A and B are shown apart, each in its own frame.
Chain A
């Protein structure tokens, strides 16, 4: 399975791993990290919105969260997804 990563495990960051999903399977997101319960909904919303804006319908995302805000999370999801689909062309 093809995968791509973006981000780090440093403070105020997150490590996002994007993996290919079969067509029609939709977006599947798993999360772990500090205070994850508190921010789960917000992280999910940002990640899904970012993928939808990119036109990505089927992907598996794993987010290792370490205090990233929405700006950073969005950037990391976009970078991982772009790397997965083959650069930013």
Chain B
């Protein structure tokens, strides 16, 4: 499981952020060719993002590019420029149906093949920014093996729901829960939308605690100052770490003895629990990332 507690958006036409963003140590960076780039700057941003991808070492960050929507004339050019540059994945906006993902999958496969990139290497994160996208979340998440995460939208989703932002984001409770349910059913990561008030640290902490509790694995980020707060919330407690260590140790000992079953504190634990314990240690920085 890749750590995706924080995925930091970097505006695609802003050299300062593109080059320095990863230094704030998010789990991932999203080089953005979509909403943060003016229509007249699309070509310039695409070239800049390509050059940054080719020349900057992003350290341990997962590197994804948010392309323009499949209903625009830009998305294919976006893919052609960025896929050969060694990225981990594509973040695609406004996905509404599994057909969108089939179309994208096919285009990515073609570019992978042309550039001698192993087929299936490029992952897809889907942004579900309409009611239809949320409704189809499970089918979208299972439309291709490339899909590794799905995220609910924020402002676009509110607009499609014919509502507006409230202080508690009550209007997004249902969609967020649907995304979590669909993602876990499809065995992909549910990642939350951004918290747009970059001065409200308390609000960000409150929202992050809530989304973690309902099952999200991380959150998109629009300002570096938000990263430590989200990491803090997603970092396991001492009690969780101690329990996870016990489980991982017990699983190791059972494997060494050739035993299939693992017992901790007199209770049997199965494989998913061991996996979860390893993930807990990984989130605490005590174990290297796995798959």
Contacts and interface: CB of A to CB of B under 8 A. Distances in A.
A75 to B, nearest CB: 4
Given A8-B13, A13-B15, A13-B16, A75 B43 contact: no
Interface in B8-52: 13-16, 19, 43-44, 47-48, 50-52
B18 to A, nearest CB: 9
Contacts of B15: 10, 12-13, 68-69, 71-72
Prevailing SS type, chain B contact patch:
helix
A79 B47 contact: yes
Interface residues of A, number: 21
A82 B13 contact: no
A44 interface: no
Instruction: Tell which of B13, B14, B15, B43 has the most Cβ of chain A within 10 Å.
Output: B15
Contacts of B56: 71
Instruction: Tell which of B19, B48, B50, B77 has the most Cβ of chain A within 10 Å.
Output: B48
B166 interface: no
A71 B49 CA distance: 10
Contacts of B199: none
B14 A83 contact: no
Contact of B19 (A8, A69, A83): A69
A4 to B, nearest CB: 10
Instruction: Tell which of A75, A76, A79, A82 has the most Cβ of chain B within 10 Å.
Output: A75
A87 B77 CA distance: 12
B16 A11 contact: yes
Interface in A53-89: 68-69, 71-72, 74-76, 78-80, 82-83, 87-88
Interface string A23-34: 000000000000
B44 A6 contact: yes
B14 A10 contact: yes
B43 A71 contact: no
B54 to A, nearest CB: 8
Contacts of A8: 13
A87 B73 CA distance: 13
Contact of A82 (B14, B16, B47): B47
B44 to A, nearest CB: 4
B213 interface: no
29 contacts: A6-B44, A6-B47, A7-B44, A8-B13, A11-B16, A12-B15, A12-B16, A12-B19, A13-B14, A13-B15, A13-B16, A68-B15, A69-B19, A71-B15, A71-B51, A71-B52, A71-B55, A71-B56, A72-B51, A75-B44, A75-B50, A75-B51, A75-B52, A79-B44, A79-B48, A80-B44, A82-B43, A88-B43, A88-B77
Given A75-B44, A82-B47, A88-B43, 12 more contacts: A12-B16, A12-B19, A68-B15, A71-B19, A71-B56, A75-B48, A75-B51, A75-B52, A76-B44, A79-B44, A79-B48, A87-B43
Interface of B: 13-16, 19, 43-44, 47-48, 50-52, 55-56, 77
A-B pairs, 5 with minimum CB distance = A79-B44, A75-B48, A75-B51, A6-B44, A12-B16
